[in-house]
Chains A and B, each alone.
Chain A
């Protein structure tokens, strides 16, 4: 039986330009996810920079991720992954060790972890809990492997080897510089006796003493000699261990290994979003719709900014948007430093992450599969003169217009801002008309708010300030509409001390 990939069905992927990736700060996000790899950060990074193009593949990954979000499934899979990671750790230790009894000891630990990990996952993961084809196939594979003769034999022999070693008991007596190793001979347990004696003084909540216990990371010479004497007292278990070691060098199954490696993508992502979720941020599976249908997003946020703010223990502001049929372009204006660029990045990030088959930073979202995401952000490098900068901007704009199709997403941030206002309007108007005629979906951030009047398919949006204090940005980007309230009640509401709010708070006390 062959193991079927959890990452792809068709094998098709494509890449976005490095320019788009950086403008959208996707590099920060993808690298942060890759950082959570338990196996190989570079390999995972590579997977994250290749995004899907096929609806089937997106559904394949989304379904697997959905399954993994069920607590019982996740627990089972996470334990499996941690288990196999441990297997490799133990094997690595075994390979490095020179003292035979320890070398074989680590090998035994590796096999033991492997056997119990495989058995556990085969029990804990059942088809009834699963909806994804990907994981259902995996379960079938796991069951077949667990019942195979090869695995049965490994398990049996391991059991014998371990219980042999486990049954050995001995005493050690250390007096000054002499060490005596002996068989057990009727000695009494000191701890049990004094615990009985002293328990009346001990309470459960006493602070525990922080004892410093050093242990040499490798087997010491003294331990080696003690263990050698233990072997002399009781040689048979050690002989069995040796032959087990020789026989089972290649015990890891290929399919198990691939399963383990492909899980990394999903587990790293889930681990990555966990702390953000705990801060109250939402992630959702985007609904994939046809191009031209209504797309929307509720409580979306700039994931790169959220990561940055997380370090400062701050919470990112979320934003909503929707684009109805017939609407094509968000024209975003309003006060500076009001979250416009952040909003634009958020849109691009949501598209990209959806195309990885992952969840997106929003409470709800629907969008289409785009062919590419093109970005045009203001470059901050030193430009010799205005003409040079404008030329560069125009060249980049032209390139986008050449490549973009009806299925593209175009994100333009503060274009032509350094040129004379009249020129700026003229150029921007030209650009917008071109984009509209292509039929692409565009987010256009600009201070030239009059551009909104060009066409009915343009949706004007604005960054906002607090009604009472215009100096305070809300970082909310909204379709133009607002409302205001009296100050005292506004304040009382802020602390949830109005009658309705307070009554709700106190209801179930």
Chain B
């Protein structure tokens, strides 16, 4: 019995986020997005963030989640009920924690038999939810409920109760054994005698064999006896423990997976209430990327201002250089591309009128760091160190978003290193978006194939439109007009 609502065939695994991933979270503002998905529920936030940073890598998986996301938007009620049920199970387990103190097999077996008795009630409730008649459309949800119904039949639950009764060991513990190493007792297997007609278990065999009694005061004897019992019950205790853990795991998983879809629903609400469109991405051919009206979601969450959506149409481009006016929306554009790709590969919708993209085998960001705490030489070292960690994980068709990378050294050295890095990337099938003011760098790619140049638009009056348009890099940066603005207006 498995949940499998994030993946068709496996459970989602939480991991410690490494520094490369944390950099991406910071650069793209993914924590702001996760906050918005959480709508106050910290658990939902942590789950969503974990899922966002682990992009899906194939078409089927993305479609599988997209379908369930659509179900969540339509039928959020059942998702919330399943979430609530899981929370109750986990709280009940937490309350029963004191039962788990014993580490000895006999004690562990006893407490887990008790715990199983509790869990049967929750399984019953789950079964009822699975029988509720909703018009779910995703394969994921339909299969999930179908499997629950098949696993938890009335007959099965009755048998479960019968064996829990046998595990009370009313006639003492019975086991088979052999002579093991150096003729010590070994190969313990707990046994039971089948029910006789009257419904009472046979406690003893007819053949009585030999027997002896341990004296009440023989402490060593009782200790030896309980050691033997523990060894005989070892496997059984493990089985029951694993069963309880398995069921608890099931509900933990259910809680996590529901949390993600509840987060998706909350995000959907936020975007649409702000008046922006959403759409479900279409999976495109390799290295093709088209969208219209794409906004930067993390900026939308924090800013109240009206946002300008961007549109591009890229075919067979490996490197995209974005140059032009300072504060002209280059970083915002770069972030919106990264966030949309993240949302797309998380199986979610994106904040755009239309969106199609190919699947990147990994998504990485390398943004300029503002901190002035490092010396100049230390900064370059830090930049290279971060790039090295990214390079370690790059594969064909990975996406690297670079924002003023290698600008911490002089332009000659910076563009020299950047050119070497980008060339090696592009030649090995890595996709690069690079925001840079280094004309020397952009120029060196002007004649190469598969490279697109975008600029932050400035209208005839020299004002920024915050739109990103195709356009070749220009030698002078627009820093001059910023200078003019600041020094001449005052």
By a beta-carbon cutoff of 8 Å, the part of chain A in contact with chain B is 90, 93, 101-102, 104-106, 108-109, 165-166, 168-191, 193-195, 197-198, 200-203, 206-216, 219-223, 225-227, 229-230, 232-233, 486-489, 491-492, 494-499, 502-503, 505-507, 509
A174 interface neighbour in B173, B417, B421, Cβ under 8 Å: B173
**Smallest Cβ-Cβ distance to A230: which chain B residue:** B179
CB–CB B177/A172 < 8 A: yes
**CB interface residues, B 240-298, toward A, < 8 Å:** 240-243, 245-247, 249-250
B204 at the interface (CB under 8 A from A): yes
| Interface pair B210/A177, CB less than 8 Å apart | no
Q: Does A222 lie within 8 Å of B421, measured CB to CB?
A: no
List chain A residues, Cβ under 8 A from B207: 182-183, 185
How far apart sit A186 and B207, CA to CA, in the bound complex (Å)?
12
The smallest C-beta distance from B358 to any residue of chain A, in angstroms, reads 17
Contacts of B235 on A, CB cut-off 8 Å?
191
> Given A191-B235, A507-B428, does the pair A165, B183 have CB atoms closer than 8 Å?
yes
By the criterion CB–CB under 8 Å, are B184 and A102 in contact?
A: yes
CA distance A492 to B408 in the complex (A): 13
Distance in Å: Cβ of A179 to nearest Cβ of chain B: 6
The answer to whether B246 and A209 touch across the interface, beta carbons within 8 angstroms, is: no
Nearest residue in A to B191 (C-beta to C-beta)?
A187
Q: Within the complex, which residue of A180, A195, A497 is in contact with B239, where a contact is CB–CB below 8 Å?
A: A195
Report if B420 contacts A (CB, 8 A): yes
Assess A229 versus B210: contact at CB under 8 Å? Given A206-B245, A214-B227.
yes
Residues of chain B within 8 A (CB-CB) of A491 are 380-381, 384
Q: Which residues of A contact B190 (CB under 8 A)?
A: 189-191
CB proximity of A45 to chain B, nearest CB, Å: 34
- Sample (24) of A-B pairs whose CB atoms are under 8 Å apart: A102-B184, A105-B179, A166-B179, A169-B176, A170-B176, A171-B176, A172-B175, A173-B175, A174-B225, A179-B212, A190-B191, A194-B236, A198-B239, A201-B247, A209-B108, A211-B104, A211-B108, A223-B228, A487-B377, A488-B409, A495-B384, A502-B420, A502-B425, A509-B395
A172 to B229, CA, bound (A): 10
In the complex, the answer to whether A211 meets B103 with C-beta atoms within 8 Å is: yes
> Are A182 and B228 within 8 A (Cβ)?
no
- CB nearest neighbor in A for B221: A222
Question: A506 and B394 in contact (CB under 8 A), knowing A190-B236, A212-B103, A226-B185?
Answer: yes
A173 CA / B246 CA spacing, docked (Å): 31
Knowing A171-B174, A212-B103, A499-B424 are in contact, say whether A105-B183 is a contact too (CB < 8 A): yes
Q: Which residues of A contact B172 (CB under 8 A)?
A: 173-176, 178
B250 and A165 contact, CB distance less than 8 A: no
- Least Cβ distance of B186 to chain A in Å? 11
Q: How far apart sit A345 and B321, CA to CA, in the bound complex (Å)?
A: 56
Q: In the complex, A441 Cα to B177 Cα: how many Å?
A: 71
Q: Which B positions have Cβ atoms within 8 angstroms of A?
A: 1-2, 103-105, 108, 151, 159-160, 163, 166-167, 171-179, 181-185, 189-194, 204-216, 220-225, 227-232, 234-243, 245-247, 249-250, 377, 380-381, 384-385, 387-388, 391, 394-396, 409, 413, 416-417, 420-421, 423-425, 427-428, 430
- Complexed CA–CA distance, A34 and B371 (Å): 54
Q: Provide the residues of chain A in CB contact with B394, threshold 8 Å.
A: 506, 509
Closest-by-CB residue of A relative to B189 is A189
**Closest Cβ–Cβ distance, residue B106 to chain A (whole Å):** 10
CB-nearest residue of chain A to B385: A495
Q: How far is it, in angstroms, between the C-alpha of A505 and the C-alpha of B228 when the chains are bound?
A: 58
Complex Cα gap A161–B153 (Å): 52
Residues of B within 8 A of A102 (CB): 182-184
Whether A497 pairs with B384 at a CB distance below 8 angstroms is yes
A291 nearest CB across to chain B (Å): 48
Q: How far in angstroms is the closest Cβ of chain A from B38?
A: 28
Known contacts A176-B172, A223-B224, A506-B428: A168-B209 contact under CB 8 Å: no
CA distance A222 to B237 in the complex (A): 23
Given known A169-B178, A213-B231, contact A200–B151 (CB-CB < 8 A): yes
Q: Name which residue of chain B comes closest to A171, CB basis.
A: B176
Contacts A180-B204, A188-B193 given; indicate if A193 touches B163 (C-beta within 8 A): yes
Known pairs A105-B184, A175-B172, A211-B104 / 14 extra A-B pairs, C-beta < 8 Å: A105-B181, A169-B176, A170-B209, A175-B171, A180-B210, A183-B207, A188-B193, A191-B190, A194-B236, A198-B242, A209-B238, A219-B184, A495-B387, A502-B425
- Using A188-B194, A213-B231 as known contacts, say yes or no to A488 and B417 having CB atoms under 8 A apart: yes
**Complex interface: chain B residues within 8 A of A214 (CB):** 104, 227, 230
Q: How far is the CA of A280 from the CA of B216 in the complex (A)?
A: 63
* C-alpha gap A222/B212 in the complex (Å): 9
- Tell me the minimal C-beta distance from A228 to chain B in angstroms: 9
**Chain A residues with CB below 8 A from B171, complex form:** 173, 175
CB pair A503 B210 closer than 8 Å: no
CB–CB B420/A497 < 8 A:
yes
Bound Cα distance from A487 to B425, whole angstroms: 23
Q: Is the CB of B214 within 8 A of A179?
A: yes
Given contacts A177-B216, A188-B191, A227-B183, contact A197 B163 (CB under 8 A): yes
Give chain A nearest CB distance to B448 CB in angstroms: 14
Q: How far is the CB of B171 from chain A (nearest CB, A)?
A: 7
B280 vs chain A, min Cβ distance (A): 30
What residues of B have a CB within 8 angstroms of the CB of A171 in the complex? 174-177, 191, 205
Q: Are A229 and B209 in contact (CB under 8 A)?
A: yes
CB distance from B426 to the nearest CB of A (A): 10
